Structure formats: C-alpha cells, structure tokens
Amino acid sequence: MENIQKLVGVLEIGESLSEAMGVNLNGYAQDLLVSLPAEAGEFSSIMPAPSDDGADNDEKLFCFLSVADTLSPAMRTKLNKHVTVLLDKLTPEVGDFLHTFDPEECEGEVLTALIEACPKALLHKKDGKTPIEQAATRSQAALEYIPLFAQVAKRHKVFDESLRGGIVGDSDQDSNVLVNLAKGTDDEETCLSVFESLKECNLMKKDDIKKYSLLDLSKEKKTVHDFLTKWSETAELKDCGGDLNVAPVESDDKKRKREDNGGQDAVKDAKVDES
C-alpha cells in the first residue's frame, strides 16, 4: 500500500483522531500543501491552495489525495515521497499515543489507521517498553489490541523476524508479552482470547509454552492454564503421529535378548513336537 493511501486513511478519521490524540492534522496538511507547488505544474491543476488560518487544510488535502490516481506515475511517486515525510513527522506523536490511549474512548479503526500509516510508532519506547509490551501490563481493554499491534508490526517488518511482531523480547523476560500475559493480568477471559489469537495468526509457537514456563506462570488462571496445557499435549501427540499407543524405544541390547529368547523358545517348541 502506498503511503498516499495510508495518509488518506488517517485523514478519513481526522475528527476522531483529534478527539482521541489531541492532534490537529491541519498543521501537517498545510506543510504538505505548501511544499508541493515547487515540484511541478501537474499538481496545481487538482491541488487546492492552503488556507492561511489552516482551518480546513486536512479536508483539502484529503480531497486532493483522493484523486491523486489521476496523476502520472512519475508525479505520483514524487507525491508519495512528500507524504512519507509527513508520516515520519507524525510517527513520534503516534508512538506516544500508543502508550497512553484510552481503550474505552479510542475507536479501533483509529488505532488501525494510525499504526498502518505509521508502523514504526510501534518501536517507540516509554519507560523501556514498546507499545505492545506496555499493553500487556495495562487494562483489559488494552490487552485486546496486542494481536493487532503484533500483526501490523510483523507485516511491516518493524521488528526482527525472530521477535514475531514484538511479542517476545531478545532475552529480557520483563519485556516478553507472553510472560506478562500469563502472570500479570487477572482478566482470564481477555488473556485467553489474546493467547488464542496469537496462536491462530501463528505469532505464538507451541515451544513458547515450555521455553517461557507459561504453564507454571498461569497456574492461577484456570482457563488459560487449561488452554496452554491442552495445546502443549496435543502438539506432542501430533509430533508422534497422533498415536496414543506409541511403543517405547527399544535399546539394541534389549532387542538382541528378545531375539535370542525368541530363538530358544523356537528350539524348545521343536523338541516338544518331536517327542
């Protein structure tokens, strides 16, 4: 998706964004509208002049970007570069917002539009934690956004691939989302839902259960503990073909003794027949 389309998504929720973040997009929009005429005359045919007071520049920019597909490929590429600069300027504010947003007041579509447009905001740390790590230690409503944050981060390759959208830290257990989910929240229902979502979108692995001692950490949360236990056991059965009656591995010594005994039994049976 081009950054032009991403910015259109942000501008579409401009009023909701202003209410949620306290950020007025008019200033950002004015900067972009002012910078464009220097590029080429092709913009001027469809681009509105910025307002001196900046009152409705976000609406003007939205209308302009909505018809940007009429531009030539070369000019659209130039426009996309200007939009990228605007989104880079907006990213730090989005990062701050992701740490402090009120899940009860902020609509899901606002958060989605913001992190799709400014995915690097998911790297923004506060008190040593990224937004997704912070969400794992916040309220029930904030927990619900963990799968969304992780999926967007993975899709945009915000973190190293091994960190799986930021749900597992490099080595610090305190920054591990799975660990904090298992031990740090009393809301079992939401916690279970998050674990299920992370499993479904393949961000959480079966090996994580043992690696991060999630069964021990979740003992006080029966539904979560049962889910993790069942998943772990099911995965192990699947690894051995799903057969509950798998024979134990037989050592070479035991095998030789069994074969020797089998041969001796055969000799005894033959002698009985002869008699």
In contact, 122 and 166? CB cutoff 8 Å: yes
Enter the tokens of residue 169. Answer: 């830290």
The C-alpha torsion from 79 through 82 and 93 to 145, rounded to 10°, is 30
Query: Is residue 30 scored above 70 in pLDDT?
Result: yes
Whether the model clears a pTM of 0.85, i.e. scores above it, the answer is: no
pLDDT given at position 68: 81
Segment 165-202, tens digit of pLDDT: 999 976 656 568 999 899 876 788 899 999 999 999 99
Segment 109-147, tens digit of pLDDT: 888 989 999 999 999 999 889 999 999 887 777 899 999
- Residue 240 pLDDT class (50, 70, 90 cuts): very low
pLDDT given at position 101: 86
The domain locations on the chain are 1-121, 125-238
- Residue 88 vs residue 236, higher pLDDT: 88
The rounded mean pLDDT for the chain is: 79
In contact, 188 and 221? CB cutoff 8 Å: yes
Residue 166's nearest CA partner among 220, 215, 201, 203 is 203
- Residue 38 pLDDT class (50, 70, 90 cuts): low
Which sign does the torsion angle of CA 27, 31, 34, 40 carry?
Answer: negative
pLDDT given at position 243: 39
Helix (H, G, I), strand (E, B) or coil at 159: coil
**Distance separating alpha carbons of residues 80 and 101, to the nearest angstrom:** 29
